[in-house]
Amino acid sequence: MDKNFVKNLRNRFPQISFMDQKGESYLDSASTSLKMDIVIETLKQIYETSVSNVHRGEHHLSLKVTAQYEQARSDVANFIGAEADEIIFTRNTTEGLNFLSESLKSFLKEGDEILITEMEHHSNFLPWKHLASELNLKLQIAPITSEAELDIPAFEKLLSSKTKIVSLTHISNVTGVINPLDKIIPLVRKTSSFIVIDAAQSISCISLDVNKMDCDFLVFSGHKIFSPSGIGVLYGKKSLLEKMPPYQTGGGTIFKVTKTHTEWANSPAKFEAGTPFIEGALALAKVLSFLKAEVNFKEVLNWERNLVRLSEDSLKGIEGICFMGSTNNRSNILSFIIEGIHSSDLAFILAKQKIALRAGHHCCMPLLQKLNLKTGVVRASFSVYNREEDIKALKTGLVKALDILKA
């Protein structure tokens, strides 16, 4: 990605100029990304001119916003190579995964197995753990290697005719390790299992095409890709969605209901109970359409990976520092510990120096237990608006924090 392109893209994030003026660095995009200017413009335009409900009115405002909402669905579908009716708007990744763990129940029976990995976020662990205990299924957890990558031979050994759901993250939110889905998915396809991809971290830095990936379901959150929080996406193969019962019921989900009988609407209406986050969907679609037209995701990942490499080079001289995960297979995340220092103490002192990053277990307690990390890890995560200046600030901040903590 050339520097001018990044410079222009940086200008599309109003909070960046606000933070630049205050000398602040934002290194927490894996938690939530900053928002693009088009998000603000879209929300402003709707609130000033077009407020109305969708699929619930005959008047001109409702018809207009319904058309915009359905266009947003098509734009989101286009971004990941899906069909519009394969896109269900959710609140976030977590809701998408809870949706699946509930709606896929009808395909499961006692003794079936669900396979996840040791690197899953709690959102891709707890729903399956609870489903397994509720239906008496076996939850298999594929191990990671010493480099915190998925142990693919061990993963393959856990696949069997009993495996009915495989759910895994594309990128670890703790180590930044990228799972090679092009190798993993064909292994799963040898079984009759459904494949669920948690794309919460990859959606903003890897171009995704659900057909090329050959997954059955994919979930992500708008807030991790420069859009509002409260809007998320569940992609599901049409043939499967048609057979699945709704996750929630209520307004908008039926063709016909009587006191004794319910006839569900087709997907996606059947899955979108109640008034959705209309303006969130419209803003997300605007962002994704912009990115699709203007941004090369290979360059995005290169830019972010380069910042991660430069950070590692810059910080590696610090006494006691240890980086998480494989150096050769990191995305936009650099996590580390410093021997003898609690991660929260570091993050607290860095925050005082206007560096925003995250410390702790990052909603991945089983992974931290596996890595024997009792006091959490510090995570710096990079996005298109980050620059080498942020790395300099991080290094200076860290050296100062250690002076304070070791004094």
Positions touching ligand PLP (CB under 6 A) are: 92-94, 121, 123-124, 169, 173, 198, 200-201, 221
Reduced to 3 states, what is the DSSP secondary structure of residue 330? strand
The alpha carbon of residue 221 and the mean position of all alpha carbons in its chain are separated, in whole angstroms, by: 5
Among residues 68, 23, 35, the alpha carbon closest in space to that of 230 is found at 35
Q: Which is nearer to ligand PLP, 123 or 311 (CB)?
A: 123
User: Nearest approach, Cβ of 93 to ligand PLP (angstroms)?
Assistant: 4
* Geometric angle at alpha carbon 329, from 325 and 334, rounded to 5°: 50
Exposure string for 39-66, b = 16+ CB within 10 A, e = fewer:
beebbeebeeeeebbbbeeeeeeeeebb
Q: At closest approach, how far in Å is the CB of 267 from ligand PLP?
A: 21
**Cα–Cα dist 245/252, whole Å:** 14
**Structure tokens given for 218:** 């994919």
Q: Is residue 205 flagged as an active site residue?
A: no
Check if the beta carbon of residue 225 is closer than 8 Å to that of residue 75: no
Q: Which is nearer to ligand PLP, 93 or 193 (CB)?
A: 93
Angle CA(181)–CA(36)–CA(285) in degrees, nearest 5? 60
- The nearer residue to ligand PLP, 65 or 205, going by C-beta atoms, is 205
Would you say 264 or 297 has its CB closer to ligand PLP? 297
The active-site residue, picked from 205, 322, 363, 364, is 363
Q: Is 34 or 402 the residue whose CB approaches ligand PLP more closely?
A: 34
- To ligand PLP, the closest distance from the beta carbon of 59 in angstroms equals 34
Per residue, what are the HEC states of 123-187?
HHCHHHHHHHHHHCCEEEEECECCCCCECHHHHHHHCCCCEEEEEEECECCCCCEECCHHHHHHH
Structure tokens at 300: 């995005």
* Residue 10 beta carbon to ligand PLP: minimum distance, rounded to whole angstroms: 23
Query: Could you count the other beta carbons within 10 Å of the beta carbon of residue 192?
Result: 11
Nearest-approach distance from CB 220 to ligand PLP, in angstroms? 8
- DSSP bridge partners of 116: 141
Among residues 25 and 123, whose Cβ is nearest to ligand PLP?
Answer: 123
Q: Which residue, 124 or 343, has its beta carbon nearer to ligand PLP?
A: 124
Task: Decide: 173 and 333 in contact? Cβ < 8 Å.
Answer: yes
Run of H or E residues at 102: helix 93-103
Shortest distance, position 280 Cβ to ligand PLP, whole Å: 13
Min dist CB 117 to ligand PLP, Å, is 11
CA distance 38 to 40: 5
Mind telling me the catalytic residues?
Answer: 363
